[in-house]
Structure 1
């Protein structure tokens, strides 16, 4: 993220704008922006340190680190300043001043009690015999000399003899001109969600049912925006799905449902704003419907399964399909599949719209479920929450 932009954002601290004086034509930073800038910078440094730690702890036998500086004397002075002080750790402010991984590593080495800051004839800085680290400082001229490249051009450039071995030249040419046989597969995702498959299929259809009919899901917003403006339509849909994951189907009274919502908040299974976004009456109508009664009976007999995640291969493809089935139960040896939809459809024929939009998605669910259980699917339902109506696909 560019921290010098007029407005910078942070997921928990919010946004930090510049102060703009339109009358005087002046722009300046603000305290809020500087706090956010500081926070983001520290988080970036923390991530870079994590990456460095991973790199330094993966060697099996020996770890070799190389670094390059333009002026060794100036760099040594900088590292000494960074490591100065009696603190065991490098102070946070000094960590921020470092220019990269090499500055961090060298400033830490300089704090070691056995580190000797005197350069020897061999240009080696030693940490002592009891430390398995050797720090060797080499100049460009010294490296070229060791490689016996005395004819090196100014600036460290040198030439190599042309390849005279025709066999080697042919092999190199073949490798450089090689084309991967499965190039198309590299452009495919190794995993794709059922929702993504559904959207791809819709995009390819010649008949467009229209963005004006169904409101699409959006990315989850930062917490500070939720507190001020409430949940979006997509977030309310997620909240309803969470409630249906934990609700007791046998307690269908309105007061009982409200008590259950309070209990889910108390047990930290959902947030208070999510509970407030779920209409208890709509939950009640679902539980009291014919489908809800069948679900309650299945739940009582331990035949009801909720939020079932699956992963399967598509036919004749290496692509993995992932998805989550809202709810299903077994009845008379067959599977009954239910998918909750919270889309607000602005159309009188909302039933046809929902069936058209989600038929392909539910077919993937059907195939996955039958593959998992070994049973056939008897019925598939979409339950439209806004319309409090069950829609049978087949």
Structure 2
């Protein structure tokens, strides 16, 4: 359709219309090629009819299901135990009716083709087995001079219809093994056999192979190709994508050269060390800490910030999300609304409320990092052009005129014993977010915060 519209537009631009086909006069020395349907009502001195052996279309009556406007639908039954198919009476009746209609239509088409010639009609057919074809014509030849319906239905193509009616044993006169005549009309059957070519393969002389000693240049070239080592093969084996969660420990302390060395298992990708369990193993009644964390982030993402939200606001939102099937009742019960309200009562929360129009939550970010920097502890030789795509989602971004503040809240269980460990664990993630958002927004990062909801405490990583 698109090409057709373009074609019409070009015709309009050129102010031209489709040209009329050149008319061909009857006296012109030309050959007209057309279908039988297109030849209706026309006559020509000489007519050549090609492909008389083309089989009739039998799809209308040989399918497992046949249709008829009067008889309805005929189906084929299948015996699954004996693995046999049976045609129902309805199927046989409709199939026979469709076959008669198809053969009758083909005969009318043949009549049109044979009555277009004024002086001479030439027909071309084809068969692989001449004797079998002629014997078929003899077997079904009419005995009374009239081709009845049963005989017509045995014809598979126009060639059979012509042969049955004009070249049966009663009408055929044999002149030679390649020429037959009709006794009653000027009809000749010429058999043309393809020429059998000599078997040239038996005459081909294959010369003996003469061993040739390869030159020194050839040996040297082959050795260079086989011994070639790609300098940056490590770049081929290295991942092109890393998530922030997998490499967060790498950027916790830029001065610590041993940081995240335990994550670098195959020296070409950072891994978390374990895969998430399949869904069919995690469908338990007990709600996991990870599920509670994801649900808490979702609530913080959807809460309105035009005013300082209180506990009741969070409770109403959670109930609404349960009604909308965004949360289950089990998850809703595990969300600590008090800790969420405390977050927005903190200094960081008040900054968010004050600049709520400039806040973006769940902000996706990506950055291309040099492989040499990402895998700086690896012994592999990376090209300076090798880049790794690092992708993550920042919990919150505040874009101010003078810079950007980012914050990331965590739902981990915090104690005095693991507090410093968690800060070190997540600071690398926030540092990487800061580097990515600074490149994306083209502004400096003036604030980086980790907020632990369980203890309602914010950590200013910019000062730390």
In the superposition, the TM-score normalised over structure 1's length comes to 0.51
Counterpart of 2:241 (choices 186, 191, 196) is 191
Are 1:173 and 2:242 an aligned pair? no
1:367-386 residue pairs with structure 2 within 5 A? 367-386=435-454
Counterpart of 1:278 (choices 300, 314, 335) is 335
Counterpart of 1:313 (choices 362, 368, 374) is 368
Give the corresponding residue for 2:318: 261
2:284 counterpart SS class? helix
Structure 1 residues 162, 179: CA separation in 2 closer, same or farther (over 3 Å shift)? farther
TM-superposed CA distance for 1:173, in Å, is: 3.4
CA contact (8 A) 1:239 1:277 kept: no
1:314 counterpart SS class? strand
CA contact (8 A) 2:249 2:429 kept: no
Structure 1 residues 294, 168: CA separation in 2 closer, same or farther (over 3 Å shift)? same
Counterpart of 1:322 (choices 387, 391, 413) is 391
TM-superposed CA distance for 1:230, in Å, is: 2.0
| Distance in 2, Cα, partners of 1:224 & 1:306 | 31
CA contact (8 A) 1:338 1:383 kept: yes
Structure 1 residues 277, 162: CA separation in 2 closer, same or farther (over 3 Å shift)? farther
| Distance in 2, Cα, partners of 1:217 & 1:271 | 30
TM-superposed CA distance for 1:274, in Å, is: 3.6
Counterpart of 2:358 (choices 276, 280, 303) is 303
TM-superposed CA distance for 1:267, in Å, is: 3.4
Structure 1 residues 200, 226: CA separation in 2 closer, same or farther (over 3 Å shift)? same
CA contact (8 A) 2:249 2:425 kept: no
Deviations 1:29-55 (A, max 9, x none): xxxxxxxxxxxxxxxxxxxxxxxxxxx
Deviations 1:217-251 (A, max 9, x none): 97544555555342322232222222222222336
CA contact (8 A) 1:306 1:328 kept: yes
| Distance in 1, Cα, partners of 2:285 & 2:210 | 70
Higher alpha-carbon Rg: 2
CA contact (8 A) 1:309 1:323 kept: yes
| Distance in 2, Cα, partners of 1:162 & 1:230 | 78
Are 1:245 and 2:301 an aligned pair? yes
TM-superposed CA distance for 1:318, in Å, is: 1.3
Structure 1 residues 172, 275: CA separation in 2 closer, same or farther (over 3 Å shift)? farther
| Distance in 1, Cα, partners of 2:423 & 2:430 | 10
Are 1:333 and 2:402 an aligned pair? yes
| Distance in 2, Cα, partners of 1:309 & 1:361 | 13
The count of corresponding residues between Structure 1 and Structure 2 is 242
Are 1:392 and 2:449 an aligned pair? no
CA contact (8 A) 1:220 1:235 kept: no
CA contact (8 A) 1:163 1:169 kept: no
Structure 1 residues 385, 194: CA separation in 2 closer, same or farther (over 3 Å shift)? same
In the superposition, the TM-score normalised over structure 2's length comes to 0.44
Unaligned stretches of 5+ in structure 1?
1-84, 88-93, 95-119, 121-146, 149-159, 211-215
CA contact (8 A) 2:343 2:349 kept: yes
1:339 counterpart SS class? strand
2:230 counterpart SS class? coil
Give the corresponding residue for 1:152: none
| Distance in 2, Cα, partners of 1:188 & 1:226 | 32
- RMSD over aligned Cα, in angstroms? 4.3
Structure 1 residues 228, 174: CA separation in 2 closer, same or farther (over 3 Å shift)? same
Give the corresponding residue for 1:17: none
CA contact (8 A) 2:251 2:429 kept: no
CA contact (8 A) 2:359 2:396 kept: yes
CA contact (8 A) 1:264 1:270 kept: yes
TM-superposed CA distance for 1:255, in Å, is: 2.1
